[in-house]
Chain A
Amino acid sequence: MLGWDFRPERTGGVGSACRGLAEALVRIGAEVSVVCPAEGHAEGLAPLRLPASIPSPHPPRGDGMERAAVTDSTTGPRAPSADALRLLRVASPLTPYLTRADYAAAPPPPPASPGLLAEVRRFAEQAAVAAAGTAHDVVHAHDWMTLPAALRVVEERHRPLVWHVHSTELERRPNGPDPAIVALEQHGLDRADRVVAVSRRTAELLGARYRVDPDKLRVVHNAVSPPAGAPARWQRSEDRPLVLFLGRLTEQKDPLTFLRAAALAAPAVPAARFVVAGGGELLPSLMRETERLGLGERVHFTGMLAGEDVERMFALAHVYVMPSVAEPFGIAALEAMCADVPVVITRESGVAEILRNALVIDAGDVGALADRIVSLLLRPALRETLIEQGRVEVATLRWEVRARSLLRIFEELAA
């Protein structure tokens, strides 16, 4: 697997998906080596700590080129062996969703390359070296940054390529996609033996705008890992309900609709606070809009949150809003439900295809969003039902189920 580090706080949805899928594949009997970019030097990294159910892999040897287990998808489920999951980190500052401009604005020190595309190529070289030490039947890559690396590995060993699409440049940047990235995505989609989309709507987009052959296109929805089960350290304030937006502040995630809905909803729920959690290009304009709407007292900007801060935000929130105009999937909605937070999502999100215990609105419909927020705060029975039934529902949305679908796709190719 050419994927992302198992620290989802650094990488967003695609990081949780890589971790969830890799661990679940191992639980159902496959062996997986994950090659991924990691900040700092590989030699300096401590061995990855895995949940109790997963045996810890051997600490990486200094060169990151230890003998890896074979990805064996032909046998049935068995107890994961100590070798079944291996993480090979390659020192690189790459993170998903980085843009060329962001990368150029804060260039990392050498040996990282000065430009994003150059760094992606450099990572590909290093990743191919790391992967050379693994025996594998299928190469499974996630999103465009890992694609050059995946192509190198595939070419060297003549293995089939499965490319897993979590997000596309055309949706991330509808008003100005980076042509070099689109070209790279197109090349990968043409070259891949199977393309896995995280939702039907993403599959449709891949078919319509990237002309992906429907015969090799498959849909495997995302899932969510069960909460760690740690006792809640934070208490929701019933006096001051908190309505949460959490995501990158980009046009795709549409925080502006959240702000405008907050302005409409605020008079009906005078005690409510609205929190915009996340960083991104829209932050300055959103802060100006907040002032213009006279919401300075009601809206709080937290900046980019990670790890425990995200957990804390969900633990405090009464409503989670994901107003995205385009959302290939939207794992955050499932994470909110795991924390007993009712969610409002848009019809334009992949998660809306599978979720029943959510309030669904059309993207950009400020009035409908305000109506749902106020209803959730004023009608406790609505919240209770969504929380009760949502708990039951997310418990069924597990990575094992998705890993089985992936395994079937791998088997098609291995046969």
Chain B
Amino acid sequence: MTAITLYFQVHQPHRLNRLGLADIGASPGYFDDGLDRLILERVAERCYLPMNQLLREAIEESEGRFRCAFALTGTVLDQLEAWAPEALRSFVDLTRTGCVEIVSETSHHSLACEGDMREFDRQVRAHRKRLTELFGTEPRTFRNTELIFDDEIARHVEDMGFEALLGEGADQLLLGRSPRRVYRPGGCSSLELLLRDYRFSDDIAFRFSNVKWDCYPLMADTFVSWLRRTAPEDRFIGLYMDYETFGEHQGPHTGIFDFMRCFVRFALEEPGLSFLTPIEVASENEPVEVLSVPTPISWADAERDLSAWLSNPMQRAAHEALYALLPDVLGTGDARLLADWRRLTTSDHVYYMSTKHQSDGDVHEYFSPYDSPHDSFMVFMNVLDDLTLRVREKLAHSTTTEKEPQR
């Protein structure tokens, strides 16, 4: 029996207002709530609500044999609470069926693992607490931002008590091994690693509506027949993707909703296939091998590394300047300054600065609210400079007040 493990990433960043150099010191609002709200309401209507409904029906019709997992970032939770509470309720209702696992991550979908490990721990613990309160059960599976992980990150995740970790089934990691078995990250003693099967995942997430793909149009029975043909020792097939794939990246006109409905139905009819959540796969299987991951792997771009976020000088400068400010931000003890700083840690900000694949206008541009990577860098740095001034001012002020009694 091979399990299909569906895992959906739900994320929206807090996009920035277009601050110019002249705005530094004037401290206008940093975040473009108007744009965020517009996008969130659209995505809730086109994706979250109809897809949650579809999954709910699948669970009910199959009497609980259909199962899946979600990770919702803290930033999207903020936005759902503010602007689409009914969509948030539908996520909570879904988990009440007992067939949906909630996976944890950093609160801000950040690159804290590359900036400051103590901040990484803080963001993970804060988010786990929030998810536990919201959904009523404590998450046991972890996925880092964009599936970024290496041995060091895996050890931290294990130390924090997680039992399973989701990762990318990158070729450079597997070196010919199957992504459909359970592994153990290097240096871990209990954590189980569940990798993404990028071929099958991308059939849905990227290729589904591509008319140039030789398998277009992909029919649900064809897809199920592919999944059925996996080797007998394959334990699970990790289909991990952006939740916005459904209705947003792949619009309703592409037939993606009908495809998913039929895919679930046909898969459930197959005696060799079932649906399991990540923690269920981890509980039912022992790792077959230790996989050592010395340098970080992610699910982004063809390189499956960190180059989508941290390769050109702008990205490196922005990332370094951001984390260099953290000790001072913490030093102020000011919750508002820390909240603003944390929103800047969201990885989307450096993703927009990417200059990779400039010639073929790619997914970086699809997601970016800016005209160019350079514009996004200038705006980010202007915001960061303004925040730096506020932090300095606060520190100077608190130093003076502390000294006053001595005078």
One of B96-104, B298-306, B370-378 at the interface: B370-378
B313 at interface, CB cutoff 8 A: yes
Given A367-B20, A381-B317, check contact A388 B312 (CB 8 Å): yes
Q: Which of B316, B317, B374 contacts A386 (CB 8 A)?
A: B374
Given the known interface contacts A360-B372, A393-B358, the answer about A385 and B20 at a Cβ–Cβ threshold of 8 Å is: no
- Tell whether A374 pairs with B21 under 8 Å between CB atoms, given A381-B318, A389-B355: yes
Q: Is the CB of B314 within 8 A of A385?
A: yes
- Centre residue among A356, A381, A386, A388 by max chain B CB count within 10 A: A381
Q: Of A268, A368, A385, A393, which is within 8 A of B374 by CB? A: A385
The closest CB in chain A to the CB of B355 belongs to A389
**A-side interface mostly:** helix
Is A359 an interface position by the 8 A CB rule?
yes
Which of A268, A356, A368, A374 has most chain B Cβ within 10 Å? A356
B381 within 8 A of A: yes
Cβ A371 vs Cβ B20 within 8 A: yes
Q: Are B372 and A385 in contact (CB under 8 A)?
A: no
Q: Does B22 contact A (CB under 8 A)?
A: yes
In chain A, positions 346-404 with a C-beta closer than 8 Å to chain B are: 356-357, 359-360, 367-368, 371-372, 374-375, 378-382, 384-386, 388-389, 393, 396
Cβ distance A358 to chain B, nearest Cβ, rounded Å: 8
Contact among A357, A375, A393 for B378, CB-based, below 8 A: A375
Q: Is the CB of B318 within 8 A of A371?
A: no
Question: Given that A356-B372, A359-B374 are known contacts, is A381 also in contact with B313, CB under 8 Å in the complex?
Answer: yes
Residues in B neighbouring A357, C-beta threshold 8 A: 355, 358
The verdict on A385 contacting B21 (CB below 8 Å), with A360-B372, A379-B317, A379-B378 known, is no
| Main SS at interface, chain B | helix
Chain A residues near B381 (CB-CB < 8 A): 375, 379
Judging by beta carbons under 8 Å apart, are B21 and A382 in contact? no
CB-CB under 8 A from B359, the residues of chain A are: 396
For the complex, give the distance between the alpha carbons of A385 and B372 in Å: 12
| B372 / chain A contacts, CB cutoff of 8 Å | 356, 359-360
Residues of A within 8 A of B371 (CB): 360
Q: Are A389 and B317 in contact (CB under 8 A)?
A: no
* Across-interface contacts of B375 in A (CB, < 8 A): 359
Q: Quick one: which of B191-249 are within 8 Å of A by CB?
A: none
Q: How far is the CA of A403 from the CA of B21 in the complex (A)?
A: 43
Find B377's partner among A360, A374, A381 (CB 8 Å cutoff): A381
Contact A268 B314, CB 8 Å, known A359-B374, A379-B381, A393-B358:
no
Q: Check B358 against A382 for contact (C-beta < 8 Å).
A: no
* Count, chain A residues at interface, CB 8 A: 23
Bound-state CA distance A357–B375 (Å) is: 11
Among B2-45, those with CB < 8 Å from A are 20-22
| Residue from A360, A367, A372, A382 within 8 A of B314 (CB atoms) | A382
Contacts A367-B20, A393-B358; is A382 near B312 (CB within 8 Å)? Answer: no
B316 near A381: Cβ-Cβ < 8 Å? yes
B20/A382 in contact, CB under 8 A: no
A371-B21 in contact (CB<8A): yes
Query: Could you say which residues of chain B place their CB within 8 Å of the CB of A379?
Result: 317, 377-378, 381
Distance between B216 CB and nearest chain A CB, rounded to angstroms: 30
Distance from A390 Cβ to chain B, minimum over Cβ atoms (Å) = 10
Which residues of A from 266 to 304 have beta carbons under 8 Å from B?
A: 268
Interface residues of B in 47-87 (CB under 8 A from A): none
- A140: min CB distance to chain B, Å: 29
Q: How far is the CB of A223 from chain B (nearest CB, A)?
A: 15
Smallest CB gap from B353: residue in A: A385
The answer on a CB contact under 8 Å between B312 and A385 is yes
Question: A268, B312: Cβ atoms under 8 Å?
Answer: no
Which residues of B have CB within 8 Å of A371? 20-22, 378
| Alpha-carbon distance A35/B202, docked complex (angstroms) | 57
Contacts A356-B372, A360-B372 given; indicate if A382 touches B22 (C-beta within 8 A).
Answer: no
B122 to chain A minimum Cβ distance, whole angstroms, is 27
With A268-B21, A367-B20, A375-B378 known as contacts, the answer to whether A385 contacts B313 (CB < 8 A) is yes
B316 / chain A contacts, CB cutoff of 8 Å: 381
Interface string of A244-286 (1 = CB under 8 A from B): 0000000000000000000000001000000000000000000
Among B314, B318, B359, B374, chain A packs the most CB atoms within 10 A around the CB of: B374
Q: Which residues does chain B contribute within 8 Å of A389, judged by CB atoms?
A: 312, 355, 358
CA A216 – CA B298 in complex, angstroms?
A: 50
- CB of A382 within 8 A of CB of B374, answer yes
If the complex has contacts A356-B372, A360-B371, A371-B20, are A385 and B378 also in contact, measured as CB distance less than 8 A? no
Chain B positions 355 through 390: 1 when the CB is less than 8 Å from some CB of chain A, otherwise 0: 100110000000000011111011001000000000
Nearest CB on A from B361, distance (A): 9
The interface residues of chain B lying within 8 Å CB-to-CB of A375 are 21, 378, 381
Nearest Cβ distance between residue B381 and chain A, in whole angstroms?
6
Q: How far is the CA of A359 from the CA of B359 in the complex (A)?
A: 17
A380 and B314 alpha carbons, distance in the complex (Å) = 9
> A160: shortest Cβ distance to chain B, in Å?
34
A193–B318 CA distance with the chains assembled, in angstroms: 53
Q: Which residues of B contact A384 (CB under 8 A)?
A: 313-314
> A382 CA to B321 CA in the complex, in Å?
14
Instruction: Decide: B313 and A388 in contact? CB cutoff 8 A.
Output: yes
A152 CA to B378 CA, complexed, in Å: 54
With a cutoff of 8 Å between Cβ atoms, the chain B residues found around residue A372 in the complex are 378
Residue of B318, B358, B378 ringed by the most chain A CB atoms within 10 A = B378
| Least CB separation from A372: chain B residue | B378
Find chain B residues with CB under 8 A from A381 CB: 313-314, 316-318, 377
Q: Which residue of the partner chain A has the closest CB to B359? A: A396
CB closest residue in chain B, given A264: B22
Considering only residues 303-358 of chain B, those with a C-beta below 8 Å from chain A are: 312-314, 316-318, 355, 358
- How far apart are A333's CB and chain B's nearest CB, in angstroms? 15
18 sampled A-B residue pairs with Cβ under 8 A: A356-B358, A356-B372, A357-B355, A371-B21, A371-B22, A379-B317, A379-B378, A379-B381, A381-B313, A381-B314, A381-B318, A382-B374, A382-B378, A384-B313, A385-B373, A385-B377, A388-B312, A389-B312
10 tightest CB-CB pairs across the interface, nearest first? A381-B317, A384-B313, A381-B313, A385-B314, A385-B312, A381-B314, A371-B20, A385-B313, A356-B358, A389-B355
Using a CB–CB distance below 8 Å, which chain A residues touch chain B? 268, 356-357, 359-360, 367-368, 371-372, 374-375, 378-382, 384-386, 388-389, 393, 396
**Could you list 4 further interchain pairs (A-B, Cβ under 8 angstroms) beyond the known A371-B22, A379-B317, A389-B312?**
A367-B20, A375-B21, A375-B381, A396-B359
